[in-house]
Structure 1
Amino acid sequence: MPTKDRSRRPWSARRIPACLAASLSLLAAGALLFEAIWGRTGHRATAWWTSLTDQLATRPLGNFWILTGAAVAAALGLWLIILALTPGLRHQLPLRVPNNSHLRMHAVLARKGAALLLRDAAMRIPGVSTVRVRVRVRRRRITVRADVGFRDTADVKDDLTDILRREKRDQLALARPPRLRVRVRRSTK
């Protein structure tokens, strides 16, 4: 029976957007609350508060500036919701960890590191040109493009696919191994 994979993508803390959003919200809410209390307690309201309340009371809802302000507020709210619901740290891939119930371990590998490991493995194949190997590691797919300097391209592709599958399985040890796509072409140089 296969064991359940407990490795998850790490979530970023997103401290800077959270602090920025909280600070702006606190500043705006604090200023509005202060002015509302200041005016209700019998003090003279400031000019910007009087102007703002007059403008909001007299402008129709179909006004350009009212609609623009609502659109900006909606876009900001949508951006904050997306930040809250997505894990972030997309440049890191989760690794397999031992399935022991008493261990709480998270291990990750940077995509660039995975691409370098696979590129080095591809360079060991006879016939692959030295300067034209491109490896792109995504969350769901690894794309390898190689130029063949000599040998038959079909033989090089078979060898390349075999070694990259072994390298992906044994060396990378990813929790969710991406699919592998190998493209080879004859070198033009």
Structure 2
Amino acid sequence: MSDPRHEPARGDAARTLEKTAPLERTGPPAAPGRGAGGPAARRFWSERRGPAALVAAVLTGASALLLYDIVSVRADRPAASWRRTLADGLATRHLDDAWVVLGASAAVLTGVWLIVLALTPGLRGLLPMRRDDDLMRPGIERGAVALVLRNRAMEVSGVRSVRVDVGRRRIRALAEAHFREIDTVRADLEAVLTHGVAELGLAREPALTVHVRRPPKP
């Protein structure tokens, strides 16, 4: 006969188990680029510290030099030689002059470069992963993805060596098989790598391309 004093303890344990046990997903799989009900995972944006510091340093130096020369002129001192030379050159040189064209081209290329840096995310070596909430943005380096997939590929029977190149949209695997049929090795390798890519939880799974060949004869 059971002791009724132990019944609340079993009920508390059951409730604790219900809270700690993982819940299985019964709904449809998450869409690419989105976790299970989470926000869309977008590419990481680079802070562009190097270009920003370079542009800021150049503009600050040029502004300080020009301001110093203007203050010197206001204090009844002669203008700097570089300023007189620049003013004379701008007044006498034609638009088709080589130095004018070169300076304009450099200014245009610099502007295009800054616009491209402002409009592109950067950090091409970091692949975003699926997100489950707004608190964390997971990502993984392409080199780490290549290492994980290479280790998976080396476990396939018949694979002697393999090279894995990971891009943002495509993964290429080139393997050498020293025994077993090439078609069989390729099928096993595709299955292993496909499963490995799915387990990484990438926001957008790259397309997989697998090539298998025999090692060159000595």
Which position in structure 1 is the counterpart of 2:184?
155
Cα RMSD (Å): 1.8
Which position in structure 2 is the counterpart of 1:183?
211
Identify unmatched segments of 5+ residues in structure 1.
none
User: SS at the partner of 2:159?
Assistant: coil
User: SS at the partner of 2:203?
Assistant: coil
Query: TM-score when scaled to structure 1?
Result: 0.89
Which position in structure 1 is the counterpart of 2:103?
69
Residue by residue, what CA displacement relative to the aligned partner does 1:140-176 show, whole Å, maximum 9, x if unpaired?
0000000111001001111110111111101x11000
Which position in structure 2 is the counterpart of 1:28?
62
Of structures 1 and 2, the larger Rg is shown by 2
Identify unmatched segments of 5+ residues in structure 2.
1-27, 35-39
Residue by residue, what CA displacement relative to the aligned partner does 1:94-153 show, whole Å, maximum 9, x if unpaired?
11111x4xx331111111110011011111111111xx3100000000000001110010
User: SS at the partner of 1:133?
Assistant: strand
| Equivalent pairs, count | 183
Q: Which residues of 2 match residues 1-189 of structure 1 at below 5 A?
A: 5=34, 6-36=40-70, 38-39=72-73, 42-98=76-132, 100=133, 103-129=134-160, 132-170=161-199, 172-189=200-217
- Residue type of the alignment partner of 1:20: L
- Identity among equivalent pairs (%): 43
- Quote the Cα distance in structure 2 between the aligned partners of 1:52 and 1:40: 19
- Residue type of the alignment partner of 2:43: R
- Quote the Cα distance in structure 1 between the aligned partners of 2:156 and 2:98: 63
Query: TM-score when scaled to structure 2?
Result: 0.78
- Quote the Cα distance in structure 1 between the aligned partners of 2:72 and 2:135: 52
